[in-house]
A = this chain, B = another copy of it.
């Protein structure tokens, strides 16, 4: 009999559920809007509804080993959402494992959504074949995940991998966490857009490049995508923004390399749509911030598992936790 896992990816906007096998092949995919504003209890009902659908769609000769859930926030070892999920009102305090066990007789395991992406990369993406992996997801903020000796490392209360809050400039920009100079203030999509606004304003009477002119039309419309559209045209101010963002990112990457000496670092998330130029610049600057012997044995690559990384990682986590147990 074949073995399948259910993978659930809970996002602020969409909820996704899949049936997958150990090779990461997806047998079924469902997606619906999360409607986070309707509250945590409603979101949990949607997850249960998805699990029901997925169980019913299971081929008769396959067995489901368990349910893996990637969710915003921190999750205790027994599946209680402890906090850190500000975009899902009422989600804190939800118990994730009991209702799944009670209703379907299936065991469940949950972890932070960005953390599980690291597992997806490790099993099915850019981290295949290495033991120790550090992932950075550069999106609206910056999250991260660690795979240690081939296993997802969650840390105390599932909180490991808060790479976005590595302080790379102790007197730098104030972060919404209350501290200063967190790397996500510089190298997330939001951070890059903010740097774009700052550099455009500063250059309005100095270097009025096409990027500066475009940005000054309406600073509120500056995005990281816009910055990189101009980087690809070699606009000197856009390139300065890019260099600053990548230098800050390299500080965080270099530090993580020094602490963990991973085999590989994976950079993913929406910001990496700008592609090779980010990878190359971050790679170059990490040499400034990492012990040479460690840097020498660690490569930096772009994530591969794409938009399904959340459900793939969640399913892989269920296999790790429940297969043969």
Contact = CB atoms under 8 A, between A and B. Distances in A.
Interface string A130-143: 01100000000000
Contacts of A166: 255, 258-259
Interface in A149-200: 149, 151, 153, 155-163, 165-170, 177-180
A294 B83 CA distance: 11
> What DSSP secondary structure best describes chain A's contact surface?
mixed
A104 interface: no
A298 B156 contact: yes
A323 interface: no
A322 interface: no
Interface residues of A, number: 50
A138 to B, nearest CB: 16
Interface in A104-142: 131-132
B291 A162 contact: yes
Contact of A293 (B74, B151, B168): B74
A170 B180 CA distance: 15
Given A156-B132, A260-B259, A261-B155, A292 B170 contact: no
Contact of A290 (B165, B261, B291): B165
A261 B167 contact: no
Given A156-B263, A180-B288, 11 more contacts: A74-B293, A131-B156, A149-B153, A158-B261, A159-B294, A162-B261, A165-B290, A165-B291, A166-B255, A166-B258, A169-B170
